[in-house]
Amino acid sequence: MANLAGFIEALGDIPAITEPALVKRKSRDMTAAFSPVMKREMADKFADAIVTPRNKQDVLRIASAAARNRMPLIARGGGTANFGQGIPLQGGAIVDTTALSHIAWVRDAKVRAECGARLIDIDARTREQGWELRIHPSTKKASTLGGFVGGGHAGVGSCVYGILRDRGNILGMEVVSVEEDPRIVELRGDDVNLVHHAYGSNGIITELEMPLAPAWPWTEAIVLFDAFMGAVSFAHALATSDGIVKKLISIAGWPIPGMLKPLTPFVRDGKSMVMCLIAEPFFESFEALVVEHGGTITYSGKDSEGPFGRPLYEFSWGHTRLHVNKEDPSIVAVIGLFASNDPVGDIAKSHRRFAHLPGMHFEVKRIDHRLSFQGSPYFRYESDEQLAEVMRGMAEDGAMIANAHTFLVKEGGMKSVGEADIAFKRRMDPYDLMNPGKLSLGGGEKSGSAGAALPSEGWKYGQTKAA
């Protein structure tokens, strides 16, 4: 049984808030906007307190106080997660990490920073030396490094560098255990994936070391196509044109482009769209590829300086749904991964199957060093059974299906959870206090999630086929 009073007393002068309205507000992320299933299941889930460590010593003290008072902890960064990563299931204290924002160093095409450093601030610092982060989410302005690695998966840059899980995309991390006498553990190599995408359930991330990429001058482009599959074929050609340096390939089938209101001057009725980020020296080659595939460039300009009031990448990945839901809050999606030898052909099957639904959205990325398309049709939510039907249909068409409608780590399907993961969880969190209910020591958490019953086998890493 958690001892809130004892926990707060043990914190000393570490800032802590127990005012219910503020705590409730911090107990939410973007999950409700993305999943009606989790919105329903998490309606009454709130923390009891918010604590704000100012430095690593504060983190150690919080971890010790939690262990001694059996207080659950939920690490929180910018609050942009959408799979329920930051929503407490069993009360406890939210650990607001945003004050841990120091960037330790930038050297040798690497950066070392504290978990609360915002990605946009890291890029500003690394660009001074001609580098930038390899991958970032569409929420780059608000996301923290620890939140992205702990709860994220892929993003802008994944069409070249793959997903965070791919070897070499996270170089090292420092994590703190939740014990009476907390330990600071440095993970490197493949061991970083023990904590990556574990929703903060097996270590409080305090520092991360990430690889960097050349900071090209980027050009944004909107390209329109008469047919959706024409857009998909072009996206595949661009992704496999290794001589053209790119950072974003985002596909939106009509009528989705018409629902992205700030882009209205650059879309046309009935046309499907591909949004791209292309390194400036290669834009002429990009234009030739567009012509070859029958596309039309309706906008191009410097990255983040377009007339739509924000970077073009803020209409891709998770932001696509956010903009669409402003126009129609009932629109939902699932997450399929087309990564076979013929992803374009497999998508064509799903496009025919779901032609009656309002458009398809895909992001091009590499996974296990292979080309893939991540996305699904958009559709108006009616029931959990409807979600299951769409997931089964995409699986029949060749997609591996993850589950965007459960708050459970394992059942979400984006993280492989094996014996090593459970053993690490036991070592780092012997009392099961870290984001409890998301990845439990004893199992059984699946019974608490209706979304976990949806038909998803997850993504089987190492089993995708070369494209």
What confidence score (pLDDT) does residue 404 get?
87
For the stretch 427-467, pLDDT in tens is 999 999 999 998 876 655 555 676 777 887 777 777 544 44
Q: 155: closest CA among 167, 172, 143?
A: 143
Beta bridge pairs of residue 175:
185, 205
DSSP 179-192: SSS--EEEEEGGGG
What confidence score (pLDDT) does residue 119 get?
98
DSSP 381-430: ---HHHHHHHHHHHHHTT-EEE-TT---HHHHSSS---HHHHHHHHHH-T
Q: How far apart are CA 279 and CA 111, in angstroms?
A: 22
What confidence score (pLDDT) does residue 463 get?
54
What mean pLDDT do residues 150-161 have? 96
For the stretch 383-435, pLDDT in tens is 999 999 999 999 999 999 998 898 888 888 888 888 999 999 999 999 999 99
**Contact (CB, 8 A) for 271 and 231:** no
Q: Where are the domains of the chain?
A: 218-402
- Which residue's entry shows tokens 């969190």? 429
| CA atoms 374, 377, 381, 384: torsion sign | negative
Angle (deg, nearest 10), helices 283-292 and 228-239: 140
Q: Taking 70 as the threshold, does the pLDDT of residue 364 lie above it?
A: yes
For the stretch 222-248, pLDDT in tens is 999 999 999 999 999 999 999 999 999
Phi-psi region of 12 (alpha: psi -120 to 50; beta: other; left: phi over 0): left
Task: Please name the fold of domain 218-402.
Answer: Vanillyl-alcohol Oxidase; Chain A, domain 3 (3.40.462)
DSSP symbol at 441: S
User: How many CA within 13 A on the CB side of residue 158?
Assistant: 27
**Contact (CB, 8 A) for 379 and 390:** yes
pTM over 0.75: yes
DSSP 32-62: HHH-HHHHHHTTT---SEEE--SSHHHHHHH
DSSP symbol at 144: B
For the stretch 72-101, pLDDT in tens is 999 999 998 888 898 999 999 999 999 999
